[in-house]
Each structure stands twice: as structure tokens, then as C-alpha cells.
Amino acid sequence: MHILVLGASGDIGGQIVKDLAEAGHTFSLHYHTNHERIADLVEVLPAEAVFEIIQSDLSTIQGIEHCIQHVQFNPEAIIFAQGQSNDSLFTEASTVEMDALLKVHVQATWHISQAFLPAMIKKQFGHLLVLSSVWGEVGASHEVVYSSVKGAQNSFVKALAKEVAPSGVLVNGIAPGFIDTQMNQQFSDEERQTLKSSIPLGRLGKAEDISHLVTFLLSEQSSYITGQVMHVTGGWMH
């Protein structure tokens, strides 16, 4: 299966690609600024696995269109692992920050799905998989805008799954809890310990915890699962 991965330079996106490569899939890889991480990722993949690499800024409409135009191989699956966070009081969030999050998480997901869905529908086969967040379900103080766009992603998954199910396209989401990635390195050791103690399984999540579920959801074993947003949280925030 050929897979378009948005945000492949992130910790989670990169781990997803590594795991899926072991299953023999091929890729179109998107990244925004971290060319070094993409280069390192390609180094550890089979030579024939990566068909193309696309650089674009999904926080602008122009960047979204640039990404779509530069995907030369129609994907049979799209994984939306792109994103950026915003940790601030809602009353202090700027219009620029709010617009960027809306474009990265919602409009990019809309437009990219819209561009490649027709080919999936014609083929009567395809997967869309959106990496959301537990905050999209329960909300988070100081992350109101982020929670809002993640909630929009969850609604997108549930609604689109119903629309395209008769065409053989499966649409699912994953809502991670606290995953120990570069994006979360701003937390102090004390804050991380407090978080860990609040998670019933007693540890922070790993990128592999997400990528293993992705691998399952893109396999034949999950062919009767669609319209679901699955929590990977260690029991946290349930």
C-alpha cells in the first residue's frame, strides 16, 4: 500500500513510518522545517520505500495547496500526523496563532482528504487516519484553541466515515494522551513525575504505542473498524 504521511519528521510520524516500512508499504513523506530528521528517517528505511518527499507549511492555504500539488503518487492511505501546539490562556491567544492551528489541524486535513478521496472511492479502497488528541475529547485549560481543533478532527472522522463507508474507504482517529515526544520536552522533571503518577498504567506514552495501533488499523485485521477515535492514554483522562 502506498501511504502519504503528513508530519513524518515528528517523533510519532517517524515511528509510524518505520513500523509500516517493516510491513512492506511505500511512502510519500511530508515535513515542514526539519529536513535533518527526514534525511535521518530515509537513511534507516529500505531504499525502495520512499517514493517522494514534500516540504510545505500546512499553516497557510498556499502551503496546503503546495503539498497537494507536489504529491505525484496517489496514496491508498493518508496519515495525518502533522500539528503544532499552543500553550497559552485563551484570552491571550493571537489571531495569527488561532488561524495557524485551524489551518494545520483542520483545513489541511479537509483539503488533503478532499484531493485524494476521489481516487480511493473509484478504487473502492482506502484509509484515512487522523492523529487527534485526548484534549479533543475532554478539553484542556491553557490549550483551548488546540482542544478545539482536535475536537473538530474527531467530528471529521466520525462524519466522513459514514459518508465514504459504502465506497470501501475507512476513516479512523487516534487520540493520544501524554506521549513522551520532543513536543512535550518543555515540561520539567517534577511536572513529568506528577503526570506519570496521574496515569493509571504508571508511565508516559511512547511513540511506539501510537505506531503499533496505526499498523493494526491499516491492516486487513481492522477491516470492520471505521468512524472510531481510539484513546491511547494508559487509562489517563477517561
Known catalytic residues are: 146
- Can you tell me whether residue 187 is helix, strand or coil? coil
Torsion-angle region of 126 (φ positive above 0: left; ψ -120 to 50: alpha; else: beta): left
Beta bridge partners of 54: 30
CA 79 to chain centre: 6
Beta bridge partners of 210: none
Beta bridge partners of 129: 79, 172
User: Please, are residues 154 and 173 in contact by the beta-carbon 8 Å criterion?
Assistant: yes
- Can you tell me whether residue 201 is helix, strand or coil? coil
Q: CA-to-CA distance for 126 and 43, rounded, in angstroms?
A: 28
Q: How many CA atoms lie within 13 A of 159 on its CB side?
A: 7
Burial label, 74 (beta-carbon count in 10 A; 0-12, 13-18, 19+): middle
Q: CA-to-CA distance for 238 and 228, rounded, in angstroms?
A: 16
